[in-house]
Structure 1
Amino acid sequence: MGRLEGDRRSWLRGAPPPRWVRALPLVLAAGVCVATLVSPDPLDVGFLLGAIPPLAVLSYGPAVTAALGVAVVVMLNVPAFQLDRPGQTDVLTVSFVALLSVFVAFVRHRRDQQLDVERTIAVAAQRAVAPPVPERVGPLRCAGLYRAAQRGTLVGGDFFDVRESAHGVRAVLGDVQGHGLAAVATVSSLLGAFREAVLDQADLESVAGRLDRRLVVDSARDPAAELFATAVLVEFTPGADAVRVVVCGHPPPLLLRDGTVTEVDAVPWTPLGLGLSGASLTAARLPLRPGDRLFLASDGVSEARDADGVFYPLLERLPALAEGADPATTADRVWADVRLHSPAIRDDVTMLVLAPEPPADRSGDR
């Protein structure tokens, strides 16, 4: 299944705060009360209560923050706590901080509501551009994984899609110039062209030519844009006994077969957007065996570097990571391994795992 990064937000970037953050105001209040009650001598710790309303702003709205502010003022005036003596705590200062915290909580609450609305709209729009890949498309089991380099976005400069047609199941994975929100328009244009070409074009070469023409036309509208993209397209023929591959300036697919990984031998062509549609394209044809899988990835995987600048060894790591794993698990394992190798990911990371099933297996599903 295709998965986009979106909801994995820390509480410092919009997610609900963890329980320990929500408990901080109560823990601080309880600590001050207990300390003053058990101490034989008055303690000058009343000033700590002034931190309770600001802490409440992190987790609560204006109503709860106001209630905690009132509780603080009451605590400062309880004789048993001995926090209201002159020279210890300025009640007026604490009251002012509490009122200020209520205002800040109100502003934050309104801002969070607006951000939630905007994020909901952004998620809907971005998923419309790049919807998740189904777990099964025709004779294929599929899994796509996307991790955008730009924080807070679900879609950037990479794209993938898998579609079924009368000519077989066709898939594309590509990388447009740049990344982040600036590349979303180009991604949308290419995916739209791919989805139409899959239905209209009789061969994979013509599908690649349609994508190239789309970028050429878009570039003509804005010559300063210099739009281009790398891509790899694959086509599983009916019966899934072979796959045809077209590589346009992109790393070729990897074939997982019997515990080994090899690059598919396909003639590389120029990236999309450079007039490829006028050239003579010939797709590579690869016979498939039972159990074969194809692994497609953007250069964000192979070019991820560790602290010493060493590239991620995808060909070396993939056999062990894919052993005994379904497509979704394979993508997850590779992503976790990439993160261990390169903690700072600076480019979009995209993977597409395609596993054709033999006809006998598919008949058993009916």
Structure 2
Amino acid sequence: MVKARKAATDAPRRTWLRGAPPPRWVRVLPVLLLVGVGAASLSDSVPVDLGFLLGAVPPLAVLAYGPWATAFLGAATIGLLTLPFFHLNRPGNTDLFTLGFVATLSVFVSFVRGRRDEQLDLERTVAETAQRAIVPDVRRQVGPVRCASLYRAAERGTLVGGDFFDVRPGPHGVRAVLGDVQGHGLSAVATVASVLGAFREAVLDDVDAVSIAARLDRRLVVDSARTEHAELFATAVLLDFAPRGREVRVLACGHPPPVLLRGGAVSTVELDPGPPLGLGLADVMPGTSTTVSLLPGDRLILASDGVLESRDASGAFYPFVERLAGMTGVGMDELPGEIWSDLCRFAPKIQDDVTLLILALDASGPA
């Protein structure tokens, strides 16, 4: 599985200004400044007094060091400024008091920053654990079905948005779902959790994709009734892999159908989609499912609106099928990252959740 939370082609890594540890150059900078000023003061070729630069050492130390290291660098700064050996102009009392106050204040700020970072790390760990519990990583192999996926939440700093997907084994075969709830970002996480919970129960009980869709539809209707003017709905594609053989039934509920990669050809699965989930119409107008016979090497690709509705600078939609035609030779595990890289090159700014789910039957499975 290509995980959107680790690789460069997936979710963005935390940077220094977004909670990651400071880069090495930030840690080295106050030490280099201290050593550089000391070395320059011993040279007769430097006509300018560089002692004023030492005032920057304690504040720079706050960015990367703890209280004890910051205190050491502050003391070293005062010592360097006052020792006659370094030929720096002898500072007055006011200069020393000012530098001492800055160094003391820097130690205090470093202590506060360290405590804050510990709390933020704890909160981030809890948040990531909760989000991963909602949308866990899909295994590379679920029964006879091989899986590869990519999930990129639109809201920066989160792992879960308004898209959902899962692949689960059950007594009636392997079931897969990919969908998009109303809205995106953290406001849609509760709906995603509710829909996926209903799907995982349905995999154990319901015998076909139509029954699963009816259960998801009922779940959203009930949740919507609890909140005034909620109007929760979701689009989804459901796949029902037969326990034996190489067939899969596909049902679309207001969502674009999957794309089939067969050899060097790319085609969209033709079916009659039903209404979105959450409107209370799944039992009345369930849509027409279609059966796809998969040959060895065939791959089904499901994509969310974040892929299909991304636009370039001129406003043109991302030509998903046409672009896939140039990727038929890419391996299954590498394909999600390849699509994501191509999408980033096409669209200058991606504003919606991006989800890809690629499924194929194991070549060693039954003929």
TM-score above 0.5: yes
| Cα shift at 1:164 | 1.0
Contact 1:168/1:235 (CA < 8 Å) preserved in 2?
A: yes
Contact 2:265/2:328 (CA < 8 Å) preserved in 1?
A: no
| Counterpart position of 1:279 | 284
The DSSP-based 3-state class of the residue aligned with 1:54 is helix
| Counterpart position of 1:310 | 316
Contact 1:83/1:89 (CA < 8 Å) preserved in 2?
A: no
Contact 1:240/1:356 (CA < 8 Å) preserved in 2?
A: no
| Counterpart position of 2:8 | none
| Counterpart position of 2:3 | 3
Range 105-114 or range 88-97, more displaced? 88-97
CA distance in 2, matches of 1:250, 1:305: 18
**Alignment CA distance shift 1:362-1:285 (3 Å):** closer
| Counterpart position of 1:356 | 361
| Cα shift at 1:67 | 1.0
CA distance in 1, matches of 2:91, 2:123: 49
CA distance in 2, matches of 1:194, 1:2: 23
CA deviations over 1:219-257 (Å, ceiling 9, x no partner): 111132110111111111123411111111112111011
Instruction: Report the RMSD for the aligned CA atoms in angstroms.
Output: 1.9
CA distance in 1, matches of 2:42, 2:106: 27
CA distance in 2, matches of 1:310, 1:193: 36
**Alignment CA distance shift 1:41-1:210 (3 Å):** closer
| Cα shift at 1:186 | 0.4
| Cα shift at 1:7 | 7.6
Range 252-261 or range 278-287, more displaced? 278-287
Contact 1:44/1:88 (CA < 8 Å) preserved in 2?
A: no
The DSSP-based 3-state class of the residue aligned with 1:133 is coil
Larger helix share, 1 or 2: 1
| Counterpart position of 1:28 | 33
Contact 2:263/2:328 (CA < 8 Å) preserved in 1?
A: no
* 2:172 equivalent to 1:137: no
Range 313-322 or range 161-170, more displaced? 313-322
- Aligned AA for 1:133? V
* 2:46 equivalent to 1:55: no
TM-score by length of 2: 0.93
**Alignment CA distance shift 1:108-1:228 (3 Å):** same
* 2:129 equivalent to 1:124: yes
CA distance in 1, matches of 2:24, 2:168: 44
**Alignment CA distance shift 1:62-1:318 (3 Å):** same
CA distance in 1, matches of 2:326, 2:82: 66
**Alignment CA distance shift 1:341-1:324 (3 Å):** closer
| Counterpart position of 2:205 | 200
| Counterpart position of 2:162 | 157
- Aligned AA for 2:271? A
| Cα shift at 1:322 | 4.2
| Counterpart position of 1:100 | 105
| Counterpart position of 1:81 | 86
CA deviations over 1:12-57 (Å, ceiling 9, x no partner): 1011111111111111112212222223455322111111111111
**Aligned partner (choices 167, 172, 178) of residue 177 of structure 2:** 172
CA distance in 1, matches of 2:238, 2:113: 47
**Alignment CA distance shift 1:119-1:153 (3 Å):** same
CA deviations over 1:326-345 (Å, ceiling 9, x no partner): 2x311111112212222422
Q: Which runs of 5+ in 1 are unaligned?
A: none
CA distance in 2, matches of 1:306, 1:119: 33
Range 126-135 or range 36-45, more displaced? 36-45
| Counterpart position of 1:39 | 44
**Aligned partner (choices 299, 315, 326) of residue 293 of structure 1:** 299
Contact 1:47/1:89 (CA < 8 Å) preserved in 2?
A: no
CA deviations over 1:57-90 (Å, ceiling 9, x no partner): 1111111111111111111012132224258992
CA distance in 1, matches of 2:203, 2:192: 16
| Cα shift at 1:172 | 0.3
- Aligned AA for 1:286? V
TM-score by length of 1: 0.93
Q: Tell me how many residue pairs correspond in the alignment.
A: 360
Contact 1:233/1:246 (CA < 8 Å) preserved in 2?
A: yes
| Cα shift at 1:216 | 0.4
* 2:227 equivalent to 1:189: no
The DSSP-based 3-state class of the residue aligned with 1:22 is helix
Q: Which runs of 5+ in 2 are unaligned?
A: 6-10
CA distance in 2, matches of 1:242, 1:128: 30
